[in-house]
Structures are given as structure tokens and as C-alpha cells.
Amino acid sequence: MTRLPAPAQLNFDVLIIGSGLAGLTAALLLAPTHRVALLTKRELSDGSSGWAQGGMAAVLAEGDTLEQHVSDTLIAGAGLCDAAAVRAVVEGAPEAIAWLRALGVPFSEDSDKPGELHLTREGGHSQRRIVHATDATGAAVQRTLLEQLRRTANITVFEHHMLVDLITDRQLKREGKQCHGAHVLDVASGRVRTFSAGHTILATGGAGKVYLYSTNPDTATGDGIASAWRAGCRVSNMEFIQFHPTCLYHPHAKSFLISEAVRGEGGQLLLPPEAGGTRFMPAHDARAELAPRDVVARAIDFEMKKHGVDCVYLDISHQSPAFLQEHFPNILQRCAELGIDITSQAIPVVPAAHYTCGGVLTDLAGRTDLSGLYAIGETACTGLHGANRLASNSLVECVVLARATHDAIQAQEAAPSSQTSAAGRVTELPAWDESQVTDADEAVVISHNWDELRRFMWNYVGIVRTSKRLERAAHRIALLDAEIQEFYAHFRVTRDLLELRNLLQVADLIVRSAQGRHESRGLHFSRDYPVLAPQALPTVLAPAVA
């Protein structure tokens, strides 16, 4: 891995934007044959992948089958999954786990069967098939891949570099639908640089920060989804935002997730003592705490509003301290730091925005509507998740689709008609023009609008929706968008401005998608349309600039 200062324009074979599991996997696979630029808008380890606690779903246990994993995924997706995408990821999952183990990822092993992986079970799964590294799987995977990255030649890392916009044939005033690279903000210098590449891969994660309460890191601002939309790509299923049922509720805890696996290991959800302290999930679903996340999140939301309480409680104290230390050391430690002893006390929890099930529409090799542009990971919508993501399918999807994208790039370049060779690429791309802008006079405009956006998205476009709430959200988005577009046109770009611009675009896509779905399905629940439509159809939005 090399780190170099960037001149005005840089030329690479592959430009990867995002350093989570999808981006890191693609970089490591492509580096042996390509000059790779890996961009991340903060530090390399600041993406959402490192925050994932639960694990990676794969059929590895005796008695489990690929068909059962496929069935569980289709059931969770509420009829909206793409069957081919589900099968491709499920079938590729064991090989993805094997690849990660070969790289040295320290997955937890079964204490009774040395050398065999310990498998846990999470909501929506019919079998124990969750491979994990205690309760910090994402961090362990990302740490291992970063170690590999540092030992890999042909990868140039650009930290504190943020995508401004993709460069397409439209910017070059020519016919065609091809991506040639991107304009990128060097956050440290404030300078916008031009990156040219035969292949550009968006791996920027989701958009959880569009909501007031989220389990996501601050980087999850929908940058890839918004930029692909502006470039002319279709997006799909943006109304399906997964709210994790159990985010730690504490004034000094920011976005700390209480893993799905806590319920998988017998944790029970209880009302607060002032509301009776009783267990409530069996009254909402026969699967109780093991119901899919949308069911559990709506149940918690219902009980909180019914009883007028700020949170509910998740109790795992019936397990021994040794069991909790072995399986949930990070949760145990973090709660203890906040004065909560989970060996004897229940954990206060609330739902929070967690995962973007929709995204840039792609095929099963990550290809988008633009030639040379790919999207993988949470940025993309392959159809795997449908109307609700099954727990622990997302990290596996990152690896499986990154591998498929690598294979597609290699196959395309090997084809006799390939247009992606160095000779066939555009070498001189337009520089960023900021001759008509100045430095912003009041940054408070950005922070105020950011706060307003996240609050009304939480109130109007949250777990339970109505047509009136969506209309109100659409009205507020239009007003904010006009203000921010004017700001964008007159002042130099900053990371905060770009993130707000992207969040507004994503918010608009979420609301438009929600308004078009006249039913309640999976993660989209509308009081005005509570009945399931007879036919399950994806929501696909196409930009006017396509």
C-alpha cells in the first residue's frame, strides 16, 4: 500500500470510493492486476462495516441447507427479494467465509469442537448459521483486511478525500452513458481534484444519518446513492429503511448497537418497571424476540407510544457472567462503563435507523446503468434484501458482490471488444471549476438544515408512516433543497455541505419511493395503506438526466 500526494489529475485503472468491507475486498482482489485508488472521506477504518456486531450468515452447520437460508431470506424480504440475487449470495457465502479465514480473520470457534466455527442464531434465521468474532465481527474483519491492505502493492490510499460528483459523458458533452472517474474534494486542502479511471466502484455505504437516531457512524450520508442518481443511474427500493430494534438508550452513548445475537441467545424484551415490567413480544408475533427486525422495531415503537415511555429493556441477565463475557465482551464492557451491569440488569434500548435496503440498482456483478460504474455493499440494491434485510446477510453480500465485480472487470478487459484499456480511456477530464464561488459566510446554515432534516425525517418518515406525514416531509425537503442548492452554487464545497446535499437527495428518494407504495410491506408500514398488495413489485426511480 502506498500513500502519495495528489496532483491536479490522477489516472488509475480502478477508482474505489469507500473503505468498508465491500471496498476493501474489491481493492485487495483487483490490486494484483490493476492500479487501484482507494478513497475514504475520513480515516480508513471509519466506515459502517467496523461497527457490525452480529456476524456473517453462511450455511456451514450439519443439518442446515442452502435452501433453508434462501427460504429464510425470502421470508424476511416479504416477497420482494430477487430470487437470483438471494441464491447467488447464499451460495457464495461459505466461500466468502473461507476466503476471510484464509486472510486471518479471527472468527470465534466452538469451545467444545476446537477448530470448528461457533455458529449463533439471529432473528429470522431457522438455524444457527451466524459466523462471528465474539460481538465485534465487523471490527475484526475490517482490521484484518486493513492489515492485508498495508502489505499490498498497487493500492494508493487517499484518506480525507470525499466524492463530489462522478464524471460522465454528459460532463464531457458527448454521446454515451459511461463513467470516466470523479471529482473529489481533498478535505485537508479544500482543493477539488480529478480522478480518471476505467472502472469506478461506489462502496460508500448507506444513509442512516438522514435520521435523527441511527446506529450508523457519521460517514453514512448516502454519498454514492446521491452521486449515482445525479449521474443518471436508477435507484430502487429506497423506502425500505431498516430500523434496528435495539440501540442502547443512554445520554452518553452515541449510536451504540445492542447486537441481534443478544436476542438470539435468549434475551427478552420487557416494558419499563413503571409500565409493568412485563415481556411483550409474544403478544405481537409467534416468533417473539426472534421475529424479523421490522416486526420487533414496530412492536417496540407501538409499546413506547402506548405507554408513553422513552425506551424498553432487553434482559439477558439469565445467562451466566462467563457466558456473557465469552459471547458479548464489548457490549458487557460498554454497558459497564455507563453503569449498567448486564449480568444482573436489563439494558435500556430504543429502535434506530440501521440499514438502507435500497440503493443504486445493479446486476449481480455490481454493474449500474453507466458503463464503467459499479456499486457494491449497502450503496447498491441487488434485490437480495427485498423489503427487509435478514440479519447478517449484509457483510456476506459485501464480499460476494465484490468478488463478482472483480470477476466482471477481469472478464470485460479480457474480451476482444474491451473499451477499458489504457488506450481507450479518456485521459484528460475537465478540471473542477470554482472560479465563480467564494468561501461560505455562515456555516451555521448547514448545521441548522442538517438538524432540521434529520428531525423531520425521524418524525414523518420513520417506523410508522402516513400519507400526510410524507407530504409534510416532501414539502420541507423541497424548501431545504432550494436553499442548499443556492448555497452550493455560490460557495466553495466542504465536506459538511456535500454531505448535507447528499442527505437531502437521499431523503427525497426515500419519500418519493414511500409515497409510491400504496401498501404495507416489510419495513414500509403505512397507516393509510395497512393491507399487503396482491403483487410484490419493487420501486424503481429513474432520474430525468438518464
User: Among residues 308, 332, 354, which one ends one of the domains?
Assistant: 354
Residue 138 and residue 117 share a domain: yes
Residue 259 and residue 305 share a domain: yes
Q: Contact 523/358 with Cβ under 8 angstroms?
A: no
Residue 481 and residue 339 share a domain: no
* pLDDT mean for each 10 residues of the chain (546 residues): 62 96 96 96 76 84 96 96 98 97 92 86 89 85 93 95 96 91 95 96 96 88 98 98 92 83 94 97 95 87 90 97 94 96 96 94 98 97 96 94 97 72 60 75 81 92 94 97 89 92 98 98 95 96 82
Return phi, psi of residue 123, to 5°: -55, 135
pLDDT of 123 reads 79
Q: Total domain count for the chain? A: 3
In a domain, 430, yes or no: no
How many Cβ atoms from other residues are within 10 Å of residue 423's Cβ? Answer: 7
How many Cβ atoms from other residues are within 10 Å of residue 415's Cβ? Answer: 9
Return phi, psi of residue 106, to 5°: -85, 65
pLDDT of 252 reads 84
User: Among residues 369, 393, 413, which one ends one of the domains?
Assistant: 413
Residue 384: give its domain's CATH number: 3.50.50.60
Residue 371 and residue 280 share a domain: no
Residue 368 and residue 322 share a domain: no
pLDDT of 424 reads 44
Relative to beta strand 312-315, strand 347-356 is: antiparallel
Cell numbers placing 78 = 416479504
As a whole number of angstroms, the distance between CA 215 and CA 122 comes to 18
User: Residue 197: in which H helix or E strand, if any?
Assistant: strand 191-202
As a whole number of angstroms, the distance between CA 546 and CA 536 comes to 26
pLDDT of 433 reads 78
In a domain, 437, yes or no: no
State the helix-helix crossing angle for 137-150 and 83-103, rounded to 10 degrees.
60
pLDDT of 439 reads 74
Residue 91 and residue 18 share a domain: yes
**Strand stretches in 229-276, DSSP E:** 235-236, 241-248, 268-270
Residue 391 and residue 303 share a domain: no
In a domain, 473, yes or no: yes
How many Cβ atoms from other residues are within 10 Å of residue 274's Cβ? Answer: 9
Residue 197 and residue 65 share a domain: yes
Outline where 266-358 has alpha helix (H).
293-307, 321-327, 329-337
Cell numbers placing 544 = 430525468
Q: Which candidate in 129, 263, 293, 521 is catalytic?
A: 293
In a domain, 130, yes or no: yes
Residue 322: give its domain's CATH number: 3.90.700.10
Whether 191 is catalytic: no
Residue 474: give its domain's CATH number: 1.20.58.100
In a domain, 324, yes or no: yes
Residue 374 and residue 300 share a domain: no
Domain interval for residue 292: 245-354
Rounded to a whole number of angstroms, the distance between the first and last alpha carbons of the chain is 37
Instruction: Tell me which residue of 295, 303, 287, 467 sits closest to 387, measured CA to CA.
Output: 295
Residue 221 and residue 258 share a domain: no
Cell numbers placing 270 = 420487557
In a domain, 545, yes or no: no
Written as one string, the DSSP assignment of 259-299 is -HHHHHTT-EEE--GGGT--B-GGGT-TTGGGS-HHHHHHH
Q: Contact 28/152 with Cβ under 8 angstroms?
A: yes
Residue 155 and residue 94 share a domain: yes
In a domain, 225, yes or no: yes
In a domain, 311, yes or no: yes
Residue 169 and residue 273 share a domain: no
User: Among residues 395, 413, 431, which one ends one of the domains?
Assistant: 413
